[in-house]
């Protein structure tokens, strides 16, 4: 006799890959004829742009580039000069071949920038790019449950509340703003470099929309009308929403990450600046689901033959977001800080027996005037290690992003450089669960007349279900006979009624 099963479908997004790829890029800059010869390279900065993402057969790809700026002191002792260049990149990640295309999320970081003069007219720029690529496809997981169960068939069912990714997508938007500098800011003679960092302030899933609000933090470095190099920061608020494919419950949550796709800053009339930036908001929606699995079965008076299947659902076990302060001290005296930048690498994770350890690495770059009023720069490495508990089956991912303004202060030890970072650690289930997908019942058997009606035994390490199945009893009968509300202690002696 075959028992009938009904199937419940759980729709989710199945990850195919989550992998970091690093690339080292170089570019040579030749000065134009009107520019003075190079005396000393003072600094190098960049803005990483992700231009495109592509899903191919068996791979995904990303392309873009770095807007790079180099500041140098001329050999003739004149005002500092700046040159700009574009450094393109292209990356590819292998993924399993699928029958359908999915979605791609790119978490891109500029890992480092430096430059050096190779002659009086040439500068070599080197840049490091790190991108964590996530490829996900929609899938359906079948959960099997028996229906019309005979009274003598006992089932072990377990319920798992799970949070799963159910939808991914992206929303592209543009910030197009005219910016007026306050009177307290020195007039701009020439822009040297600029950087835009979007930050999320509020994020919510409302029915069939994901709504988010944030600020784009603009940082500029420029040559002022008095011949000094100066920096200025401002914030540009934005508010957006993305239309989702389906409606979601009130307890649904979202994660969002940004990629800059385009950035232009021009100096207009009357000291105004005009900014045009393309931003790509990449989101993942998580829904709460309850998954009930039939994991075991037995029948006291008949043979029972179960068929098992494995269920792998990409459930989020835990997600933690915390602020980490990167801090480094540069021993120096009598200086005036002009500009501070921070390059961050993707965290490195190492699996251990009882958890995960991680390593974070970053580089501060400080531009400053020394005690002789000469412009100089320095690069200072920062690193920090951390550990966390994690089950052996969990898949751990960590994402780092800037959070808050970078700042410099001075103490008796020197220049104190600080940058607030946001570290997001996610643990996803990596273990398949077993469920019964089919049951066959044999004919009824005559009861064994030699079987005792009661058994005394020590609980040991077995569960009530295991003891009931071994003895031909039921969990309810053992609980009633021993007045149990929960699993017994391992040393407890139990009365087990036998059916």
Q: Which residue, 466, 472, 465, 464, is CA-closest to 494?
A: 464
Q: What confidence category does residue 54 fall into, taking pLDDT thresholds of 50, 70 and 90? A: very high
Cβ contacts of 278 within 8 Å, gap of 6 or more: 172, 173, 174, 260, 261, 262, 263
State the pTM of this model: 0.90
Has residue 365 been placed in a domain? no
The model's confidence at residue 442, banded by pLDDT at 50, 70 and 90, is confident
Paired sense of beta strands 355-369 and 348-352, if any: antiparallel
E strand or H helix at 483: none
- Report pLDDT digits (tens) over 209-251: 999 999 999 999 999 988 999 999 999 999 999 999 999 999 9
Same domain membership, residue 246 and residue 224: yes
Nearest to 106 by CA among 57, 41, 49, 146: 49
Q: Determine, yes or no, domain membership for 385.
A: no
Spatial separation of the C-alpha atoms in residues 335 and 370, rounded to whole Å: 4
Nearest one of 336, 342, 360 to 418, comparing CA atoms: 342
Examine residue 130 and state whether it is found in any structural domain, yes or no: yes
> Is residue 357, in this structure, part of any structural domain at all?
no
Are 439 and 499 in a shared domain? no
Q: Where a domain ends, among 423, 445, 467?
A: 445
Q: Of 140-154, 250-264, 390-404, 445-459, which range is least confident?
A: 445-459
* Alpha-carbon distances of 408 from 92, 155, 244, 365, 378, rounded to whole Å: 38, 65, 42, 11, 13
Q: Are 154 and 468 in contact (CB under 8 A)?
A: yes
How distant, in Å, are the alpha carbons of 24, 276, 289, 352 from that of 293? 48, 52, 13, 30
Q: Is residue 144 part of a domain?
A: yes
Whether residue 72 contacts residue 38, with contact meaning beta carbons closer than 8 Å, is answered with yes
As a whole number of angstroms, the distance between CA 38 and CA 81 comes to 9
- Domain-located, residue 393: no
> Do both 252 and 301 map to the same domain?
yes
Asked whether 216 and 196 are in contact (CB, 8 A), the reply is: yes
Asked if 390 and 356 touch (Cβ cutoff 8 Å), the reply is: yes
Phi, psi angle pair for 450, to nearest 5° = -90, -5
Residue 26 covered by a domain: yes
Same domain, 441 and 468: no
Instruction: Determine the Cα–Cα distance for residues 416 and 402; give it in Å rounded to an integer.
Output: 18
Q: Does position 339 have pLDDT exceeding 90, yes or no?
A: yes
When pLDDT is averaged across residues 46-66 and rounded to a whole number, the result is 95
Whether residues 440 and 454 share a domain: the answer is no
User: Does 145 lie in the same domain as 113?
Assistant: yes
pLDDT by residue (tens digit) across 421-432?
999 999 888 788
Cα–Cα distance, 417 to 187 (Å, whole number): 26
Q: Which long-range contacts (CB under 8 A, 24 or more apart) does 415-418 make?
A: 415/329, 415/330, 415/332, 415/335, 415/337, 415/366, 415/368, 416/327, 416/328, 416/329, 417/327, 417/328, 417/329, 417/330, 417/340, 417/342, 417/364, 417/366, 417/380, 418/325, 418/326, 418/327
441 and 453 in a common domain:
no
Bridge partners of 159?
A: 292
Per the document, the length of the chain is 499
169, 429, 468 from 91: Cα distances, Å = 21, 28, 57
Do 173 and 201 sit in the same domain of this protein? yes
Q: How far apart are CA 81 and CA 67, in angstroms?
A: 17
For every residue of 31-70, DSSP letters joined together read --TTSPPEEEEEEEEEEEEEEEEEEETTEEEEEEEEEEEE
The total of other beta-carbon atoms located within 10 Å of residue 267's CB is 14
For every residue of 72-135, DSSP letters joined together read: EEETTS-S-EEEEEEEEEEEEEE----SS--EEEEEEEEEEEEEEEEETTEEEEEEEEEEEEEE
Tokens of 87: 């450094």
Domain count, the chain: 2
* Predicted confidence (pLDDT) at residue 255 exceeds the cutoff of 80: yes
Q: Which CATH number belongs to the domain containing residue 497 in this structure?
A: 3.10.350
Examine residue 210 and state whether it is found in any structural domain, yes or no. yes
> How much is the average pLDDT of 280-284?
97
Quote the domain boundaries for residue 136: 1-314+432-445
Q: 40-49, 159-168, 399-408, 443-452: which range is least confident on average?
A: 443-452
Q: Are residues 441 and 453 located together in one domain of the fold?
A: no
Per-residue pLDDT at 270: 67
């Amino acid at each position: 006799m075959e028992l009938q099963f009904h199937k419940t479908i759980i729709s989710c997004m199945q990850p195919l890959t989550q992998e970091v790829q690093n690339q080292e890029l170089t570019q040579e800059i030749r000065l134009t004829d009107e520019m003075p010869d190079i005396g000393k390279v003072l600094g190098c900065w960049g803005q990483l742009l992700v231009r495109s993402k592509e899903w191919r057969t068996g791979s995904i790809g990303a392309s873009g580039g770095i807007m790079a700026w180099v500041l140098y002191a001329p050999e003739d002792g004149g005002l500092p000069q700046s040159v700009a260049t574009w450094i393109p990149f292209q990356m590819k990640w292998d993924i399993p071949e699928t029958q359908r295309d999915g979605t791609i999320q790119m978490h891109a970081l500029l890992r480092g920038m430096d430059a050096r003069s190779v002659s009086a007219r040439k500068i070599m720029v080197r840049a490091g790019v790190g991108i964590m690529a996530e490829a996900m496809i929609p899938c359906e997981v079948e959960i099997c449950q028996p229906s019309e169960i005979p009274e003598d068939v006992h089932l072990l069912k377990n319920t798992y509340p799970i949070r799963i990714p159910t939808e991914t997508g992206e929303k592209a938007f543009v910030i197009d703003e005219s910016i007026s500098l306050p009177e307290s800011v020195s007039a701009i003679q020439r822009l040297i470099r600029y950087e835009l960092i979007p930050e999320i302030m509020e994020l919510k899933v409302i029915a069939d929309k994901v709504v988010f609000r944030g600020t784009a933090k603009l940082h500029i470095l420029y040559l002022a009308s008095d011949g000094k190099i100066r920096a200025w920061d401002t914030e540009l608020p934005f508010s957006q929403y993305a239309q989702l494919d389906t409606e979601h419950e009130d307890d649904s949550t979202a994660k969002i990450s940004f990629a800059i796709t385009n950035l232009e800053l021009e100096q207009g009339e009357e000291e105004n600046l005009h900014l045009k930036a393309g931003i790509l908001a990449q989101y993942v929606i998580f829904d709460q689901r309850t998954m009930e699995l039939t994991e075991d079965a037995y029948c006291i008076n008949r043979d029972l033959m179960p068929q098992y299947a494995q269920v792998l659902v990409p459930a989020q076990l835990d997600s933690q977001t915390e602020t980490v302060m990167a801090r480094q001290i540069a021993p120096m005296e009598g200086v005036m800080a002009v500009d501070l930048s921070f390059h961050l690498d993707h965290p490195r994770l190492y699996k251990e027996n009882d958890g995960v350890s991680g390593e974070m690495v970053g580089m501060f770059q400080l531009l400053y005037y020394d005690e002789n009023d000469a412009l100089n720069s320095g690069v200072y490495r920062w690193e920090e290690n951390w550990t966390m508990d994690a089950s052996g089956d969990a898949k751990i991912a960590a994402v780092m992003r800037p959070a808050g303004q970078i700042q410099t202060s001075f103490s008796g030890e020197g220049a104190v450089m600080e940058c607030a970072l946001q570290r997001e650690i996610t643990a996803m289930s990596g273990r398949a669960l077993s469920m019964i997908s089919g049951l066959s019942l044999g004919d009824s058997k005559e009861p064994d007349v030699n079987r005792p009606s009661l058994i005394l035994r020590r609980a040991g390490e077995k569960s009530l279900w295991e003891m009931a199945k071994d003895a031909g009893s039921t969990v309810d009968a053992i609980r009633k006979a021993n007045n149990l509300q929960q699993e017994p202690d391992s040393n407890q002696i139990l009365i087990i009624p036998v059916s």
